[in-house]
A and B are shown apart, each in its own frame.
Chain A
């Protein structure tokens, strides 16, 4: 962990890096823009560079930032909800429902523009299913929620495999890309940005309660939380964030698991700092990953989920190892 007085400076740094990542992502690609060309393109959307910037790269980069932020925030919430550092946004089956609905849409030739809505629909069905089954009549049980979610997720995984195995070969590639995460169809974020903003403000307001919830349900109640309501609220928040992220870009892995952990290692577990730090870093991490996915083997595009894993796993292991050496 870095000293408390430096944690706020870290937030500022992450903000600057976020802006930097958007610049990096929008300036690089098949046609690279230098600083002046980039500024010119920004001012004149009608020009050739302007078209490239405003219609292709900016929507994609902005979407990547929003999606990465949502996944990171959702990961933080899921880890508190399940009191398990291994929880990620997908563990309770939200992405499974979204993926199944989307793949089914692809099989039946639904227009690309409608696929995000199918994803949202599938995610909502999964959220309500798990919510309804896990709620039961008794008190909150994290174990019951986890089991219900995990089993639902494996159910979706089986359905996804079924769809994949029955689909014609020529549509398989698109499906696999979607499953690994793909930002190439993303528009300028509008409603997803609103979801992110709203959830961020709400989560920040609950941040001190999250600190207490992370210490266990009984401790939280003894410290004045009505945990039943709080935990369901956290579940719904995390699920909606995941659903929104998945509908924009498919199920991009590792961001929601690794970013909260990286930030925990840096700033500790106070959610008043952790939530903003993870949100910012999740965003910029996905923007950089997506830029690499576009450019590393250009013109061939890689699934961004592969890049997030290839970057995230070594980075995480390195930091974890260093933290352990210092005896944290």
Chain B
């Protein structure tokens, strides 16, 4: 079982505290939602958890080893991250770009096997980009580029997936499609996902765990059923929230 643990983690950016003494463990089979208002530092925290940003204090442990001491290659085999923005400068095909997910698994001179190719084709089909394999990435729409980046992450096959607003630029159909894919990875393959998102209702539909960032260094982490309530959400977003009971569970609406 692969775990990612934050131990009394202090993270700040430009003098602004994102979290103080954050203690939490991400375990296989868990689906985490990371909630917080705009600009609160969700992306920075995710980068910190991926070993790309140094915390002020405390440590991030990947399989019980400090992530900044591990070779990046080893990290990349266990942990993958979908960034908020993907900018393609050079012409490459959709297929080649999705194939870069295999990079950490291949030795220096090694070429991709037919098995790797199958994985790429499967991922491209899964994100609904079949038929786009030979298209250039520079010509993709925002939503297509987003789905391609997600396909590359699927091809990477990390045990821990950090996703920074994966639903950005996606229409409703593809939002659900991507969330279902993540859910399938978590439930059927015992991976672990943490998703930074703004849609509380998507979070309540999919996530079993929630991390809330309040902006003054304060945070709450725990089971979604306990944390997702009117009181916490009003504190989180600084606005009124109304709850609606639907056949599928509690849903939240902005209130007065």
Task: Please list the residues of chain A having a beta carbon within 8 angstroms of any beta carbon in chain B.
Answer: 1, 79, 83-85, 205-206, 208-209, 211-212, 214-216, 218-219, 221-226, 264-265, 268-270, 272, 327-328
Nearest CB of chain B from residue A217's CB, rounded to whole Å: 10
Q: Would you call B92 and A222 a contact (CB within 8 A)?
A: no
Beta-carbon nearest neighbor of B89 in chain A: A83
**Contact A226/B72 with A85-B89, A328-B136 known, Cβ cut-off 8 Å:** yes
Q: How far is the CA of A212 from the CA of B101 in the complex (A)?
A: 9
Bitwise interface map of B from 53 to 76 toward A, beta carbon under 8 Å scored 1, else 0: 000000000000000000111111
Q: How far is the CA of A27 from the CA of B86 in the complex (A)?
A: 52
Q: How far is the CA of A219 from the CA of B145 in the complex (A)?
A: 14
Q: Would you call A221 and B52 a contact (CB within 8 A)?
A: yes
Contact of B156 among A85, A218, A223 (CB under 8 A): A223
Listed stretches B77-85, B219-227, B242-250; interface member: B77-85
Beta-carbon nearest neighbor of B109 in chain A: A205
Contact of A223 among B90, B101, B136 (CB under 8 A): B101
Q: Would you call A224 and B104 a contact (CB within 8 A)?
A: yes
Q: How far is the CA of A226 from the CA of B72 in the complex (A)?
A: 6
Contact of B91 among A1, A205, A215, A224 (CB under 8 A): A1
Q: How far is the CA of A16 from the CA of B171 in the complex (A)?
A: 51
Q: Would you call B92 and A269 a contact (CB within 8 A)?
A: yes
Residues of B within 8 A of A1 (CB): 91, 93, 136
**Contact A205/B93 with A219-B83, A223-B103 known, Cβ cut-off 8 Å:** no
Please give the number of chain B residues whose Cβ is less than 8 angstroms from any Cβ of chain A in the complex.
Answer: 33
A-B contact pairs, 9 of them (CB 8 A): A208-B103, A211-B96, A211-B100, A219-B83, A222-B83, A223-B100, A224-B74, A224-B76, A328-B139
Residues of B within 8 A of A215 (CB): 88, 97, 100
**Contact A224/B72 with A85-B90, A205-B109, A327-B139 known, Cβ cut-off 8 Å:** yes
Contact of A208 among B73, B83, B106 (CB under 8 A): B106
Residues of B within 8 A of A205 (CB): 108-109
Residues of B within 8 A of A79 (CB): 90
Beta-carbon nearest neighbor of A214 in chain B: B90
**Contact A270/B52 with A222-B80, A223-B104 known, Cβ cut-off 8 Å:** no
Beta-carbon nearest neighbor of A227 in chain B: B72
Residues of B within 8 A of A83 (CB): 89
Q: Would you call B91 and A221 a contact (CB within 8 A)?
A: no
Q: How far is the CA of A215 from the CA of B72 in the complex (A)?
A: 16
**Contact A226/B106 with A268-B93, A327-B139 known, Cβ cut-off 8 Å:** no
Q: Would you call B92 and A270 a contact (CB within 8 A)?
A: yes
Q: How far is the CA of A214 from the CA of B109 in the complex (A)?
A: 18
Q: How far is the CA of A270 from the CA of B111 in the complex (A)?
A: 12
Q: Would you call A212 and B103 a contact (CB within 8 A)?
A: yes
Q: How far is the CA of A264 from the CA of B89 in the complex (A)?
A: 12
Residues of A within 8 A of B111 (CB): 272
Using a CB-CB cutoff of 8 Å, which residues 98-128 of chain B contact chain A?
Answer: 100-101, 103-104, 106, 108-109, 111
Nearest CB of chain B from residue A54's CB, rounded to whole Å: 38
Nearest CB of chain A from residue B106's CB, rounded to whole Å: 7
Q: How far is the CA of A83 from the CA of B89 in the complex (A)?
A: 7
Q: How far is the CA of A16 from the CA of B101 in the complex (A)?
A: 35
Contact of A226 among B71, B93, B103, B156 (CB under 8 A): B71
Residues of A within 8 A of B139 (CB): 327-328
Nearest CB of chain A from residue B146's CB, rounded to whole Å: 14
Q: Would you call B106 and A225 a contact (CB within 8 A)?
A: no
Q: How far is the CA of A218 from the CA of B82 in the complex (A)?
A: 11
